[in-house]
Structure 1
Amino acid sequence: MKNTIKNLALVAIVAVFTFAFTTIDKEKKEVKTESSKVVWKGYKVTGSHEGTIAIQSGSLSFEGDKLVGGNFVIDMTTIISTDMEGEYKGKLEGHLKSDDFFGVDKHNTATLEFTEVKASGKNAYQVSGNLTIKGKTNPETFTMSIYGNKATANLKIDRTKYGVQYGSTSFFEGLKDKAIYDEFDLVADLEF
């Protein structure tokens, strides 16, 4: 009986040490910034504007074929409008880069660090992460789909949580048709 207990104890100790020192290999895949794209779309009472913004760097982490993590750095100085031309395009882009909006002179990057990834269907995930814009960090949750070496993500961001209050009816009264809605959309098409 004593030998059986000793053998069981020895097996338990070996099992604990084996599992404690066995790591699941994570594979980090770098995002190809040249062939990846982030589209933004902002809304106002009288319509909307949209454009693009460049990914400075990013990666997705996998265990086997399952997404388990990721992080991104966005180059805020590259924000452009794709729905306007000429003088008005330049004015909008300048305004978006100013302190009224993203203050790119002081805050030239934004970051997203995944904190939790849950499978929500075949090739689909619900991702939670910490988004930092203008030096302010908030948790965000969004959907991401992965097919082969491509991924898409859709985020809806409340800009006021990041100190972007210009034209917000949450902070200013009497804006009427000059009001800009607090939420904007980001759609990322990624290749890795």
Structure 2
Amino acid sequence: MKKVILLVAVVATTLISCKGEKKEKVETNEEVKVEETVAEVAEAKVDNVDTANSFLTWKGTKPTGAHNGTVALKSGSLVVENGEVKSGEFIVDLNAITCLDIEDAETNQKLVGHLKAADFFDVATYPTAKFVIASVENNEGKLAVTGNLTVKDVTKSITIPATLTEADGVYTFKSDTFNIDRSEFNIKYASKKFFDNLKDKFIDDLVEMSFEVKTVK
């Protein structure tokens, strides 16, 4: 009897712990006005993102596991004046999406192909995604970056935590990990918001993301 009670207690504790690990999603709002775009900064150096060393990371989960990978940037600009971010625009190349956790080449390519397909990112129609910085608040070195995120045919504003560092004339603009609700950007595949009776075949709507953007000298 004591063993049964102990087992129940352990199960209950585990369930409570799992609930406590629930992901927090970034709130999305209507597209915000960008007061100062990269093109409007006359003396700024544009197209200054080092695309070879800049990337976005992603992680998607489902009841049976998770997958993660990277996406390269196609181009971008980051305007920094007196050590402060003034504006920025990052173009994400969805044709360059990769999966890092699947070692079998055929299985890996199958997943990547599905992510590019019409029922997911629909890369043939929407080959890029975009993040445009609208405003930045600096709180003792920690940045609250508000910008417009465009995925497929949807643009919404989000605010994410990030940092800016500089070394040898190169700026690194790096975000903390944040979670985006893919269903809000018209990515509906295996979402419980749009399909019934999926049982354990659904894919979580929240996608974990982060980015690291480096400038060229």
TM-score if structure 1 supplies the norm length?
0.82
Q: Is residue 174 of structure 2 the alignment partner of residue 152 of structure 1?
A: yes
Which one is further off, 97-106 or 176-185? 176-185
Which deviations, in whole Å up to 9, do the C-alpha atoms of 1:151-187 show, x marking residues without a partner?
A: 2113321111111011111111221221111111221
Match of 1:80 in 2: 98
CA distance in 2, matches of 1:185, 1:26: 35
Match of 2:159 in 1: 141
Which one is further off, 106-115 or 171-180? 171-180
CA distance in 2, matches of 1:102, 1:159: 10
CA distance in 2, matches of 1:120, 1:27: 24
Match of 2:11 in 1: none
Q: Is residue 129 of structure 2 the alignment partner of residue 110 of structure 1?
A: yes
Q: 1:26 to 1:145 in 2, by over 3 A?
A: farther
Q: Is residue 115 of structure 2 the alignment partner of residue 96 of structure 1?
A: yes
Q: Secondary structure at the match of 1:81?
A: coil
Letter in 2 for 1:118: E
CA distance in 1, matches of 2:84, 2:160: 17
Q: Is residue 185 of structure 2 the alignment partner of residue 162 of structure 1?
A: yes
Coordinate RMSD, CA, aligned: 1.7
CA distance in 1, matches of 2:79, 2:208: 24
How far did 1:56 drift?
0.5
How far did 1:41 drift?
0.8
Moved over 2 A (4+): 24-29
Letter in 1 for 2:172: K
Q: Aligned pairs, how many?
A: 168
How far did 1:86 drift?
2.0
How far did 1:62 drift?
1.9
Which one is further off, 106-115 or 168-177? 168-177
Larger radius of gyration: 1
Which deviations, in whole Å up to 9, do the C-alpha atoms of 1:53-97 show, x marking residues without a partner?
A: 110011211221111221111111111111112221111011100
Letter in 1 for 2:180: I
5 Å-filtered alignment, 1:25-104, equals: 27-28=44-45, 30-84=48-102, 85-104=104-123
Higher strand fraction (1 or 2):
1
Q: 1:26 to 1:42 in 2, by over 3 A?
A: farther
Match of 1:173 in 2: 196
Residue segments in structure 1 that go unaligned for 5+ positions in a row: 1-23
TM-score if structure 2 supplies the norm length?
0.73
CA distance in 2, matches of 1:83, 1:144: 26
**Does structure 2 conserve the Cα–Cα contact (< 8 Å) formed by 1:168 and 1:180?**
yes
Q: 1:49 to 1:73 in 2, by over 3 A?
A: same
Q: Secondary structure at the match of 2:98?
A: strand
Q: Is residue 203 of structure 2 the alignment partner of residue 185 of structure 1?
A: no
CA distance in 1, matches of 2:134, 2:128: 19
Q: Secondary structure at the match of 2:108?
A: helix
